[in-house]
């Protein structure tokens, strides 16, 4: 019989948080290889960049600690599964479509957004 263990994340270390206008947040998700999704949780639209994997970050991860190098976010009251960006730089008559993933059920994202809202009111 196989033993199954559950080891949820115990700590999230966020190294940089930047509030951005929504258009900038949408633009940053457009990559040469395609369009990366954004995340939405409890009124916050955001993206994050993980710290590159190294022996140290892998050890941290296995101990329940993850690092986000950068988080960009904006407020967006209601969830929408797709957002559109019209920009002349993309030379398309059609708007760019960016998927949004509702991560409200993620305990990690819910705790992060709760922390973010509290931290941003203190500034």
Task: Please say if the pLDDT value at position 123 is more than 60.
Answer: no
62 in a structural domain: yes
119 in a structural domain: no
Strand residues in 27-79 grouped as ranges (E): 30-31, 34-35, 38-41, 44-50, 65-75
Q: Which residue has the higher pLDDT, 34 or 30?
A: 30
Task: Please say if the pLDDT value at position 97 is more than 60.
Answer: yes
90, 56 Cβ separation under 8 angstroms: no
Task: Please say if the pLDDT value at position 104 is more than 80.
Answer: yes
Say what percent of the chain tops pLDDT 70.
91
Using one digit for the tens of pLDDT, what is the confidence trace for 47-95? 999 999 999 999 999 999 999 999 999 999 999 999 988 866 666 667 8
User: Domain range for residue 105?
Assistant: 11-113
**What pLDDT shows up at residue 91?**
61
Task: Give the C-alpha separation, 90 to 116, whole Å.
Answer: 32
123 in a structural domain: no
23 in a structural domain: yes
Alpha helices in the chain (DSSP H): 22-28, 55-62, 107-121
1 in a structural domain: no
34 in a structural domain: yes
Q: How many structural domains does the chain have?
A: 1
């Amino acid at each position: 019989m196989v033993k199954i263990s559950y080891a949820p994340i115990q700590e999230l270390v966020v190294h940089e948080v930047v509030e951005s206008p929504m258009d900038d947040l949408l633009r940053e998700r457009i990559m040469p290889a395609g369009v990366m999704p954004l995340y939405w949780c409890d009124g916050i639209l955001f993206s994050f960049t993980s710290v590159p994997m190294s022996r140290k970050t892998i050890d941290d991860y296995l101990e329940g600690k993850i690092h986000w190098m950068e988080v960009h976010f904006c407020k967006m009251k209601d969830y929408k599964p797709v957002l559109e960006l019209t920009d002349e730089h993309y030379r398309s008559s059609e708007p760019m479509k960016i998927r949004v993933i509702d991560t409200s059920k993620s305990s990690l994202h819910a705790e992060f957004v709760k922390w973010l809202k509290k931290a941003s009111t203190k500034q």
